[in-house]
Amino acid sequence: MSERDEKIKSLVNMGFSEDEANEAIIRCVDSVSASRVAEDCHSRNLSDHQVTDRCFNSFGGRKKARLMEESRKKRKRYGSGGQGNRPSLDGSDEDSMPLPNPMVGFNLPGYSGPSVTRMLSKLDTGPPFFYYENVARAPKGEWAKISRNLFDIQPEFVDSLHLCAAARKRGYIHNLPIENRSPLLPLPPKTIFEAFPHYKKWWPSWDTRTHLNCLQTCVASAKLTDRIQRALVSSSNPPTKSVQKYVMDECKKWNLVWVGKNKVAPLEPDEMEYILGFPRDHTRGVGKTQRYKSLGNSFQVDTVAYHLSVLRRMFPNGVRVLSLFTGIGGGEVALHKLGIHMRVVVSIEIGEASKKIFKSWWDQTQTGTLIEITDVKSLTNDRVASFISQFGGFDLVIGGSPCNNLAGSNRHHRDGLEGKHSALFYDYVRILNFVKSAMGGRRM
DNA sequence: TGCACTATGACAATATTG
DNA sequence: CAATATTGTCATAGTGCA
């Protein structure tokens, strides 16, 4: 109690009213169990640290306030905030959500540090369980907005490079238990050379990468790899520092690998499938551009499976899944690899190529019921209600909403959650809330 | 039409320097 | 501490070709 008073006092000193400070403490304690907060305040436990820090950073010192003021001005032009926002605690929509370092979420296999315990309010736990995903580096304030719309649950930020050979910085908001998780076995290759030993042959010593950067939807042009080759050929051996820097910059930017003498190339689609944890040839059967696009948009299967692994014990007879923005079925592949039977999947996906990929995987591997819906807008609450009465409810609502307007590589329309595509997040919220209320907290 | 290919910054977090 | 540099990012729009 005295510690709590101390925290309140320090917040008041920062210029917040006592009520605001009080509410902030309550919110912190809501995300992490009270004892842990007290215990870990001075420890180096990064995960816990992240949670407590975040609570205080939202109110952080005067400098932060000034920065928030600036960005508020800048953002005015984006118009009024999103629909359905709860009033924010400090009256600002610009809460910063610092990303943890290392980005390992609540816990990860191989990172045996003391892990977080968290307590969700009874209203927030299932049924149904839900799992939401998006890019970690969204514009300022967007994750705070997402969190507010998902019951103020703190995101779990994970960089998949701690689990596989490529980086993938993502935030996940879910109400799953976080104790007793188990990874998919065998663990995926963790470095480039573990994944692709044959690239050692042409890999120059001055390229010190051990992991690839984030696999994206577009790959380098032949023209670019030609330019790199010409630069290398006309340089000395080893190349001059400036040539090395040029080549390395491009290799990192485009995720290029060494496939021959002075020759770099983008990964092939099947190599991306491998790193992302999909079965070989999962995306085969559509154009190469489409394969890159759908793979760049998908989950890293091992990461998601680790989070979902807690469901296996809870649903020995299988799960009923509402899958929004299914894509090529990263979540379903994760469940399947975990050995969790999918009794029902209602899948919403608008991309023709992705639908084709997912359907053919389903037909090859699954025996449950699959219902395919193209447009999330056409999944009205009435329709959700009829599915619920047909199947008796859903156990898991899973999906990553479009990141187009949040992602840094979008040069044109990075307009945040209110952007044309990313605003579909609000349909996720709508549908999840409807499922929750229709299932009314009772076991079905 | 559909596909492959190419050129095109902006932003924020982090690292470095003054 | 403040200014500056570096790094990295689930992309889009336009063009030419079959």
Segment A133-182, tens digit of pLDDT: 999 999 999 999 999 999 999 999 999 999 999 999 999 999 999 999 99
Instruction: Categorize the per-residue pLDDT at A62 as very low, low, confident or very high, splitting at 50, 70 and 90.
Output: very low
Q: How confident is the model at residue A257 (pLDDT cuts 50, 70, 90)?
A: very high
Distance A84 CA to C11 C1' (A): 28
The answer to whether residues A148 and A202 belong to one domain is no
Asked if residue A198 and residue A240 are part of one domain, the reply reads yes
A203 closest CA partner among A216, A214, A191: A191
Please indicate, yes or no, if residue A113 is contained in any of the structural domains.
no
* pLDDT tens figures, A26-42: 444 333 333 233 223 32
One domain, residues A214 and A71: no
- Here the CATH number for the domain that contains residue A346 is 3.40.50.150
pLDDT at A97: 79
Q: Tell whether A245 and A362 lie within a shared domain.
A: no
Give nearest nucleotide to A96 (CA–C1'): B12
Question: What are the tokens at A439?
Answer: 């299932």
Q: What total of structural domains would you count in chain A?
A: 3
**Average pLDDT value over all residues in chain A:** 81
- How far apart are the C-alpha atoms of A417 and A424, rounded to whole Å? 8
Could you tell me the sign of the dihedral formed by the alpha carbons of A12, A15, A19, A23, in that order? negative
CA of A410 to C1' of C3 (A): 28
B chain positions with any atom within 7 Å of a protein CB: 3-14
pLDDT per position as a tens digit, A228-246: 999 999 998 889 988 999 9
Nearest nt (C1') to A214 (CA)? Answer: C9
| Spatial separation of the C-alpha atoms in residues A237 and A289, rounded to whole Å | 35
> Residue A356 domain-assigned?
yes
Closest of A100, A6, A11, A89 to residue A47, by C-alpha: A100
Of the three residues A62, A79, A98, the one that is the final residue of a domain is A98
In-domain check, residue A296: no
Among residues A98, A117, A150, which one ends one of the domains? Answer: A98
For nucleic chain C, which protein residues have CB less than 7 Å from any of its atoms?
A: A 63, 133-137, 167-170, 213-214, 216-218, 249, 252-253, 296-297, 325, 400-404, 406-413, 421
A325 and A245 share one domain? no
pLDDT at A95: 60
Instruction: Round to whole Å and give the CA distance between A292 and A393.
Output: 35
Whether A178 and A307 share a structural domain = yes
> Which residues of A are catalytic, by number?
403
Better-scored residue on pLDDT, A160 or A44: A160
pLDDT of A199 over the 80 cut: yes
Say if residue A178 is in the same domain as residue A327. yes
Distance of A420 CA from C15 C1′ (whole Å): 25
Residues A429 and A307 in one domain: yes
**Type and span of the H or E element at A62:** helix A62-75
Q: Which nucleotide is at minimal CA–C1' distance from A252?
A: C8
- Do A197 and A176 share a structural domain? no
**What's the pLDDT band for A43 if we cut at 50, 70, 90?**
very low
Nearest residue: Cα versus C1' of B6: A221
Task: Give the closest residue to C6 (Cα–C1′).
Answer: A249
CA dihedral for A335, A368, A433, A324, sign (positive or negative): positive
Which of A275, A295, A328 terminates a domain? The answer is A275
Structural domain contains residue A374: yes
In this structure, is residue A246 part of a structural domain? yes
pLDDT-based confidence at residue A123 (cuts at 50, 70, 90): confident
Separation between the CA of A277 and the C1’ of B16 (whole angstroms): 37
Report the distance separating Cα A162 and Cα A168, nearest Å.
9
Instruction: Select from A79, A150, A157, A128 the least CA-distant residue to A425.
Output: A150
Q: Is residue A368 a part of any domain in this protein?
A: yes
**Shortest-distance nucleotide from A292 CA to C1':** C10
Residue A78 belongs to domain spanning: 2-98
A293 touches strand B (CB under 7 A): no
Q: Which two tokens stand for residue A21?
A: 């400070």
Residue A106 maps to a domain: no
Measure A190 CA to B2 C1' (Å).
38
Contact A431, A322 (CB under 8 A): yes
**Which of A's residues 34-73 have CB atoms within 7 A of nucleic strand B?**
71
Domain presence at residue A407: yes
| Same domain as A335, residue A213 | no
Proximity of residue A235 CB to strand B below 7 A = no
Regarding whether A197 and A148 lie in a shared domain, the answer is: no
* Nucleotide closest in space to A219 (CA vs C1'): B5
A72 shares a domain with A94: yes
Residue–nucleotide distance: A414 CA to B11 C1' (Å): 9
In A300-436 the beta strands, taken as DSSP E runs, fall at 319-324, 342-348, 369-373, 396-400
